[in-house]
Amino acid sequence: MKKEKKTSSILSNLLIKLAIVLMVLLIGSYARVRWDFSKNKAYSLSQVSKDAVSNLQDNMVVKLYSSKELPAAMLILDRYVKDLLEEYKQAGKGKFHYEVINGPSPEDLKNKALQYGVGAMYFRIFENDKTTTKEVIYGLVFEYQGNFESMNVLPKMQNQLEYQMTLKIQKITRYTLPDITAFVDTLYTLMPRQKYENELYSNYNVHFTNLLEPPPKTHVMIVHSGYDSLSITQLYNLDQFLMQGGKLVVLADKIFSDGETVMEIHSNLFDFLENNGIKLSSDIAMDIFCDSRQMGVDTNISFPIYPVLRGSQHPITRNMSNIIIYMGNGIIFNRKPGLKFQTILATSTRSALLEGPDYQLDSRLFFNPDPDVFVNPPIPLGAIVEGRMESYFKEKPQFQRSDFVSEVKDGKIVIFGDRELYVDPDKPIYENRYQIILNAVDWLMGREDMINIRSRHLQESILDIAYYMHKNNLLWGDPAKTERRIKMEVKIIATLLPSLILIAVGGIISLHRKRTKEFKNEEI
């Protein structure tokens, strides 16, 4: 009798637990609840993305054109794309829809995708005991009120996928973008800047100015400085933009190079900056962690005058890396009363200076950088100056107009010591460096949500050797060769260690059995 009651009790408990599990699964299928325990909610849709789809006036349809069989390199990305689409759908209040299009045949899929601007990708894969090339279609098409925007989704794009998708949604829905002003001169028009400008227009409603007239009264102005001094009119209009409450993002350095010689330039913009607490060094900042180029089969040439930087803990540069600076100048705070200075971007503790006005660089540093040369502390190449600022024209009444403002109590300037920070780099690894300019603009406007999705995943893994060496200021010979050697050692250890562990465990078990057997024999 007791046995029957016990069996009945066990079955009852089992049925209750099974019912609870089924109920949770049923509720979950409708609620679609997801928990994100990652750092900074890296896999949750940000508020700015939710806002972009929560106020849709009409239905939006997103079509994912995808080959049926994806290579292994695309599987994690594919899962992430579909998770994001599901989150956009939940935030869209019934007006955001998506569908996956796989066929009916690979050729039909390719033709349909090409009509919308989604191109093919090619992967080298190992299949049927041989290496072959596989053509893959994978991209998104956003359709809204008769218009469409397309987007190729590429491997390793997971870092900025939400950011790029939200930009497309904002563009096609004519989302109201914030207004900013941008000062440009002739130099800007001569530089390759397509990627920078595309993203600039996607994020802001940009009003370009030459400062010959008072600029639009926007919250922020980006100052793309050139080689020459500004006219008095231009400098006055820039000064009054700041005095009347506008914030500045300034790109400036003191170096001009024609490829053969390096010269220091002189501009009244530097006097204006110094009046507001900022002095630019005439020396070129160098770092042992720098760009390198391969020459021939096995020769790497280092360019210490092109330091490669990692961001700080400040939102403008946080989580960002591979920020290359082309012959930048250090930023010095002249400790003007009423102002605060904060470094947001700097070289490593293995830094050096190429001193002007001669700028003589030892050619040996290109082939085998001597660690003993790079002994300077970090050199600031990005900084924020804020506080009470006085007009550059305060003591120049002859230039003052009727609406002249002599000071501002909460002035803010974000400055980077590289005039060409917006220029498209020639290496894909550096292609996102200009985004610190956009981050600076958004920080000054209080749009930190946009900063978070733009640079959310850009930081390398802590297992990345170059990142680990840089973070801990370690230098073991040539960084590139050291990285290759350590990776090879790790591969060898990872291959041999499991076998060695199995052999060791087997030996211990065998020894234990042998001793147990001997002990039993002794008892007999």
Distance CA 308, CA 294 (A): 16
Residue 2, φ and ψ in degrees, nearest 5: -60, -35
Whether 309 contacts 346, CB under 8 Å: yes
Radius of gyration of the chain (CA): 30
Residues 306 and 421 in one domain: yes
pLDDT score for 264: 92
Q: Is the pLDDT of residue 157 over 90?
A: no
Residue 471 lies inside a defined structural domain of this protein: no
Q: Report the amino acid identity of residue 91.
A: A
Residue 433, CA distances (Å) to 308, 320, 357, 406, 447 in order = 10, 8, 28, 36, 19
Distance, CA of 71 to chain centre? 26
Asked if the structure places residue 212 within a domain, the reply is yes
The Cα–Cα gap between 520 and 524 comes to 6
DSSP-H helix ranges across 211-370: 232-243, 268-275, 364-367
| Residue entry with tokens 């092109």 | 306
Is residue 105 assigned to a domain? yes
Evaluate whether residue 490 is within a structural domain.
yes
pLDDT: which is higher, 373 or 17: 373
> Can you tell me the distance from the alpha carbon of 74 to that of 135, in angstroms, rounded to the nearest whole number?
12
| Residue 365 near residue 373, CB atoms below 8 Å | yes
- Residue-by-residue DSSP string for 366-386: HHS--TTT--BPP-EEEEEEE
User: Does residue 193 share a domain with residue 45?
Assistant: no
**Using one digit for the tens of pLDDT, what is the confidence trace for 306-344?**
999 999 999 999 989 899 999 999 999 999 999 999 999
Q: Last residue of some domain: 172, 198, 218? A: 172
Pairing of the two strands 299-309 and 329-333: unpaired
Q: How far apart are the C-alpha atoms of 138 and 109, rounded to whole Å?
A: 10
What confidence score (pLDDT) does residue 460 get?
46
User: Does residue 192 have a pLDDT over 70?
Assistant: yes
Cα–Cα distance list, 143 to 153, 164, 176, 267, 301 (Å) = 17, 16, 18, 49, 48
- Does residue 327 share a domain with residue 191? yes
Same domain flag for 43 and 104 = yes
- Answer yes or no: do 14 and 79 share one domain: no
207 in a structural domain: yes
Range of the domain at 508: 476-524
> Pick from 442, 465, 488: which residue ends a domain?
465
| Band of residue 272 on the pLDDT scale cut at 50, 70, 90 | very high
Answer yes or no: are the C-beta atoms of 254 and 327 closer than 8 Å.
no
The candidate with the shortest Cα–Cα distance to 482, out of 394, 371, 340, 379, is: 371
Tally of domains in the chain: 4
Structure tokens at 126: 């190992």
Q: Are 105 and 63 in contact (CB under 8 A)?
A: no
Which residues make beta-bridge pairs with 256? 263
Confidence band of 473 (pLDDT split at 50, 70, 90): low
Sign of CA dihedral 478, 483, 489, 493: positive
pLDDT digits (tens, 9 = 90+) for 78-107: 999 999 999 999 999 999 999 999 988 889
